[in-house]
Amino acid sequence: MIKKFFKSVIPETTLRRMVYYTRCLNSFKNEGVKLIQSEDIAKKCGVKSSVVRKDLSYFGEFGVRGKGYHVESLLSTINGITNTFGKMNAALIGVGKLGSAIIKHSTENFNVKIIAAFDKDRKKVNKEIGETKVYPIEEIESIIKKYKIKIAIIAIPPSDVQKIVDILVNAGIKAILSLALIPLNVPDDVEVSFVDVLSEVEFLFYKLSLRRNI
Amino acid sequence: MIKKFFKSVIPETTLRRMVYYTRCLNSFKNEGVKLIQSEDIAKKCGVKSSVVRKDLSYFGEFGVRGKGYHVESLLSTINGITNTFGKMNAALIGVGKLGSAIIKHSTENFNVKIIAAFDKDRKKVNKEIGETKVYPIEEIESIIKKYKIKIAIIAIPPSDVQKIVDILVNAGIKAILSLALIPLNVPDDVEVSFVDVLSEVEFLFYKLSLRRNI
C-alpha cells in the first residue's frame, strides 16, 4: 500500500484534504464511531463522497464493499504512511502576537516540530515559548543549518519578507509558509504556501456579494 | 462588463486567486510598472499564464492584444466591480493573541470591516482594539443583528466552536471563517472557510516528504 502511495502522483488538492480527513477521522474516533461510509466523511468534511473515495484510493484499498471504512484502521494506515516520512523540524520567523500564538498551538502538531523561533527584538530572544527557543534574527542561517530545519513559517511585516526569504533559502529551507499574501521570489525547488486570514475574509466577502447579486 | 461579471458563474478557485491578483497588481503598481503581460502576473503569483488569462476573462475583456494589461486600469476595474458590492461588517469571536493580531492587521482591509469582537474574559470586554469594540460573548446575537453583520471570524479553542457557530447562524451570519480546522455543522446557505496555520504546515510536510520519497 505504501509502495502505491509513493509511486502515484497525488494531486495537491488531495494532499490538502488528507490533512482535513485526518482531523475528521479523529473527530469520529472521539465520538466513539467505529465504522463509517464515505458519505459520512463527506458530510463531516463538506466535500462530495465521490471526492472522498477518489482521494482515499490514492492511499490504497481501504473500504470494505458495502460496509464502509473502519475509522481506527483508516486512521492508523494514514498515520502509518506519514510516520514513514519521519519528523521534520520547522522554524518560525517573527515572535509577535501571531507568531507566539502559532507556537502556543503547535504542541498538538504531530509530524512537524517548531524547534526554533527568531525575532529582532532583543527583549524576546533567549527566552523559551513552550519548547521553542527564541534566537536573534542574525542567527537564522546558522541555526537552520545546525538543526537541518526544512520548513519555515514567516510571521513578520510584509516589507521585510523577501529579505528573510532569501536568507532562509540560502540556509537550506525547502518549504515556506508565509502569513502575508504577497508574492515571493524563490527557486523552483522551494514550496511556498500562504495563510492569510484577511485575504480569506475578502474571499468570503466576494462569495457573499456574488450570491447576493446573481 | 459588470453585467457579464454578475451573470457568469465564477469558479471558487478563480475568486480566491482574484484576491491574490489584486495584491500582485498593487505590488506592480508600487514598483512603477505600467503595462504587464499575463506572463508577468503568472510569474509573480506563481500560477500558469493560461490560468491568469482565463481568470481575468470572467471579469471582462481586459487585455490589449499584443500589448498586455494596463496595471492601473485592471486594478481600478477590479476595484470598481468589488465596490459595487458595497462594504460588509464582520465580527471576530475570541480576542486572544491570534484574534487581536487579526484586528490589528485588519485596517488595511478594504471591503470588510471588523466592527465588533467578542470574548468571555471580563477583563477584555468594553475595551477597544483600534476601531473595534470588544463585547461580552453573551451579546453576540444582539450585536450581530443590530449591525447586520454577515461575516464572522472564529478564533477560539476547538471545543467551543460548534456552540458559537450555532449562535452565529441563528443571529444571521452567512459566512464563517474558522481558524481551527475542525468540521462545522451549518445550514447549506452559510459559507464556511478554514484558515489553519498548523494544517498548512502539515500539508507542506506531506509535500516535502513525498518529493523525497518518490
Judgement on whether residues B62 and B154 belong to the same structural domain of the protein: no
User: What pLDDT score was predicted for residue B212?
Assistant: 61
User: What pLDDT score was predicted for residue A7?
Assistant: 42
Judgement on whether residues B24 and B102 belong to the same structural domain of the protein: no
Would residue B206 count as lying in a domain?
Answer: no
Task: Round to whole Å and give the CA distance between B117 and B95.
Answer: 7
Concatenate the DSSP letters of all residues of A22-38 into one string: HHHHHHHHHTT--EE-H
Is the pLDDT at A213 greater than 90, yes or no?
no
Would residue A38 count as lying in a domain?
Answer: yes
Report pLDDT digits (tens) over A56-91.
888 776 667 777 888 888 888 887 777 777 788 999
Would residue B17 count as lying in a domain?
Answer: yes
User: What pLDDT score was predicted for residue A183?
Assistant: 79
Q: What is the CATH number of the domain that holds A10?
A: 1.10.10.10
Which of A48, A129, A202, A212 is the best mutation test for B, with the most CBs of B within 10 A?
A202
Would residue A71 count as lying in a domain?
Answer: yes
Q: Do A205 and B97 touch (CB under 8 A)?
A: no
Q: Count CB atoms within 10 A of the CB of residue B54.
A: 13
Q: Which of residues 40-79 of A touch B (CB under 8 A)?
A: 44-46
pTM of the model: 0.79
User: What pLDDT score was predicted for residue A21?
Assistant: 86
Judgement on whether residues B67 and B10 belong to the same structural domain of the protein: yes
A23 versus A181: the higher-pLDDT residue is A23
Judgement on whether residues A164 and A121 belong to the same structural domain of the protein: yes
Would residue B153 count as lying in a domain?
Answer: yes
A107 in contact with chain B, both atoms CB, cutoff 8 A: no
Query: What number is the average pLDDT over the span A28-55?
Result: 86
Listed as ranges, residues in chain B with pLDDT below 70 are 1-8, 61-63, 107-110, 212-214
Could you give the 3-state DSSP secondary structure of residue A127?
coil
User: What pLDDT score was predicted for residue A164?
Assistant: 96
Residue A212 — pLDDT band, cuts 50, 70, 90? low
Cell of A72: 481506527
Name the domain count of chain B: 2
User: What pLDDT score was predicted for residue A109?
Assistant: 53
Query: What number is the average pLDDT over the span A43-52?
Result: 83
CA dihedral A214, B5, B11, B14 (to 10 degrees): -140
Indicate whether this complex's ipTM tops 0.90: no
Which of B7, B198, B209, B210 is the best mutation test for A, with the most CBs of A within 10 A?
B198
User: What pLDDT score was predicted for residue B109?
Assistant: 53
Judgement on whether residues A152 and A51 belong to the same structural domain of the protein: no
Among B84, B118, B143, give the residue marking a domain's end: B84
Would residue A44 count as lying in a domain?
Answer: yes
Judgement on whether residues A17 and A51 belong to the same structural domain of the protein: yes
The C-alpha of B24 sits at a distance from chain A's nearest C-alpha, in angstroms, of 7
User: What pLDDT score was predicted for residue A4?
Assistant: 41
Judgement on whether residues B60 and B123 belong to the same structural domain of the protein: no
Judgement on whether residues A18 and A61 belong to the same structural domain of the protein: yes
Range of the domain at A12: 2-83
Among A35, A54, A83, give the residue marking a domain's end: A83
Task: Round to whole Å and give the CA distance between A207 and B114.
Answer: 17
Packing angle, helices A197-213 and B12-30, rounded to 10: 120
Judgement on whether residues B160 and B195 belong to the same structural domain of the protein: yes
A32 in contact with chain B, both atoms CB, cutoff 8 A: no
Report pLDDT digits (tens) over A85-129.
778 899 999 999 889 888 887 765 568 899 999 999 999 999 999
Judgement on whether residues A100 and A62 belong to the same structural domain of the protein: no
Judgement on whether residues A60 and A130 belong to the same structural domain of the protein: no
User: What pLDDT score was predicted for residue B7?
Assistant: 42
* Average of per-residue pLDDT values in chain A: 85
The rounded Cα A132 to chain-centroid distance in angstroms is: 18
Q: What is the CATH number of the domain that holds A185?
A: 3.40.50.720
Judgement on whether residues B134 and B79 belong to the same structural domain of the protein: no
A35-61: buried (b, 16+ CB within 10 Å) or exposed (e) per residue? ebbbebbbbbbebeeebbbebbeebbe
Would residue B213 count as lying in a domain?
Answer: no
A128 in contact with chain B, both atoms CB, cutoff 8 A: no
Would residue B154 count as lying in a domain?
Answer: yes
Query: What number is the average pLDDT over the span A127-155?
Result: 95
Residue A210 — pLDDT band, cuts 50, 70, 90? confident
Among B36, B57, B84, give the residue marking a domain's end: B84
Is the pLDDT at A205 greater than 80, yes or no?
yes
Could you give the 3-state DSSP secondary structure of residue A154?
strand
Residue A47 — pLDDT band, cuts 50, 70, 90? confident
Q: Which residue among B46, B82, B207 sits closest to A15, beta carbon to beta carbon?
A: B207
A197 in contact with chain B, both atoms CB, cutoff 8 A: yes
